[in-house]
Structure 1
Amino acid sequence: MSFNGCPFQGIESLSAEARKSIGNGRSLDAFLMDVTSDESVGKVARRLEEKCEKFGGLHALVNNAGITGKHIADDFLDMNEYLKVAEINLWGPVRATMAVKKLLKKARGRVIQVASICARVGLPGLGPYTVSKYGVSAYCDVIRQELRPFGISVHILEPGFFDTPLINRQKIDAEISEAWEQAPSDVKKEYGEKFFNDARQSTQLFLNSIASSQISLVIDAYYHAITAKYPRSRYQIGWDSILLFIPFSYLPTGLQDYIFAAAGLFLPKPACH
């Protein structure tokens, strides 16, 4: 199991809980792995080679490390923000998958990738996150075909918005404020302070109205993808994913644009509009 930026106490707690749940003196081999580091991922891959030798390979790789990045318009961002998010959300899964591919081939295993409905619909104000999720979904679509002859299957989870630390309201609000404060004066003038205030309010309103607390739905999808004899290629998770975003993704682009503009979804209009 891998963690990104979690303390060692988390590993100890997880291992202790596993010992109680599994019993018979068995436990969970938990460890830290930095998905942005070739060295860290390579070290874990070598460790897995030793551990998995007696099992004939690795049954499943689950790529779930991710961050959202700043929730604000592209004009308030820079390349560093895109690179920071992509390093974890996109290159992290690619790096991890490539590192253990030989073990997956031995076991004719499977890759489970957590993407997002943002891999289907480009949401204004979530540029870096959306770009990274489109990218990792595309990577999975490619390797699904390439690895099929080796008996490896690839499965994508497309959850909607769930009430997890990933969408911590205070953190998001602080990041919007930081982006506004650091923006060049001409950008602030172009958008106006009303845009900033409206962006904060609309983001909170959107998350409060759509984020689901039923985290078990995501866990169930993980479990099915890992254990089922015939797992699905894609898992749509959450009412917003199934009833709103996935159907929306099939609409013609022009109609999508019209709906975004007419509803004023996700981002308020700048002052210069």
Structure 2
Amino acid sequence: MVSSEFPGLWGLVNNAGMSRGSGRNEWLTKQDFVTILDVNLLGMIEVTLSLLPLVRKARGRVVNVSSIAGRLSLTPGGYCISKYGVEAFSDSLRRELAPFGVKVAVIEPGFFKTNKTNTDRVLLNVQEVWDRAQPEIKETYGEKFLASYLKRLSEHVLSTCNENLSEVTDCMEHALTACHPRTRYSAGWDAKLLYLPMSYMPTFLVDAILTWGLPRPAKAL
């Protein structure tokens, strides 16, 4: 219930997120997907819905932290799926709340150095997923695929993460305080110069770029 004496809530920033169950989709279980969706998408929706009456009363702001992975499916597993869902929920919410004077913004960071992108943690997670995969799947991909996949993650993806987290928090601040906040914010040079432009490219070209240099499974055609 919203009290008539309480001025409401000016800003809601949904920044909770997790990433686990890395590896190929075929290596994962349904629960791997559910775990991420519960936090990154459904948890965000639950918090937002519970606080919307207060935000609407204050004619405030909702700021949802998505990812450039919500515009371009960069990794297997539930993470990108959850971020695509954040984008969709934010778009519908923005249109619904506009008549009440509430603004909704989405922040789409690139790759930043956080606990989620810690190299040792990510590589260990991939190894754990591989270890519990079915024998037939392991035979299909092969140990050489796993070794090459881990090497690519370590040398070409995780090692290039941006360390300047203020690029993300500056976007949050602008979205909360600017008279005319943007609908979407891209944080990080990789988001602005690489992944966002790629999201507008033809699908066949994006597929070629994202799969270039990836190892081939042992039983690939």
- TM-score bin, normalised by smaller chain: over 0.9
Instruction: Specify the alignment match of 1:243 in structure 2.
Output: 193
Question: How high is the sequence identity, in percent, across the aligned residues?
Answer: 40
Specify the code of the residue in structure 1 equivalent to 2:135.
Answer: S
Deviations 1:52-93 (A, max 9, x none): x65511101100000012221001101001000000000011
Specify the code of the residue in structure 2 equivalent to 1:78.
Answer: T
Matched, 1:201 2:151: yes
Alignment of 1:1-273 (within 5 A): 54-124=5-75, 126-261=76-211, 263-264=212-213, 267-273=214-220
Structure-1 separation of matches of 2:109 and 2:215 = 25
Give the conservation status (yes or no) of the 8 Å contact 2:74–2:210.
no
Deviations 1:246-271 (A, max 9, x none): 0000001122123234x23xx42211
Relative to structure 1, is the Cα distance of residues 175 and 233 closer, same or farther in structure 2, using a 3 angstrom cutoff?
A: same
Greater RCO structure (CA 8 Å; 6+ sep): 2
What stretches of structure 1 move > 2 A for 4+ residues in a row? Answer: 206-210, 258-261
Structure-2 separation of matches of 1:198 and 1:254 = 24
Deviations 1:190-230 (A, max 9, x none): 00001111111111113344200111111111111111111
Deviations 1:143-171 (A, max 9, x none): 11011111111000000000011211111
So what's the TM-score if we normalise by structure 2?
0.95
So what's the TM-score if we normalise by structure 1?
0.77
Structure-1 separation of matches of 2:154 and 2:115 = 14
Deviations 1:114-162 (A, max 9, x none): 00000011114x3210000001111001111011111111000000000
Number of residue equivalences = 220
Computing the radius of gyration from Cα coordinates, the structure with the larger value is 1
Relative to structure 1, is the Cα distance of residues 132 and 208 closer, same or farther in structure 2, using a 3 angstrom cutoff?
A: closer
Structure-2 separation of matches of 1:259 and 1:193 = 24
Give the conservation status (yes or no) of the 8 Å contact 1:210–1:240.
no
Q: Which runs of 5+ in 1 are unaligned?
A: 1-45
Q: SS in structure 2 opposite 1:112?
A: strand
Deviations 1:16-35 (A, max 9, x none): xxxxxxxxxxxxxxxxxxxx
Specify the code of the residue in structure 2 equivalent to 1:145.
Answer: R
Give the conservation status (yes or no) of the 8 Å contact 2:66–2:109.
yes
Instruction: Specify the alignment match of 1:38 in structure 2.
Output: none
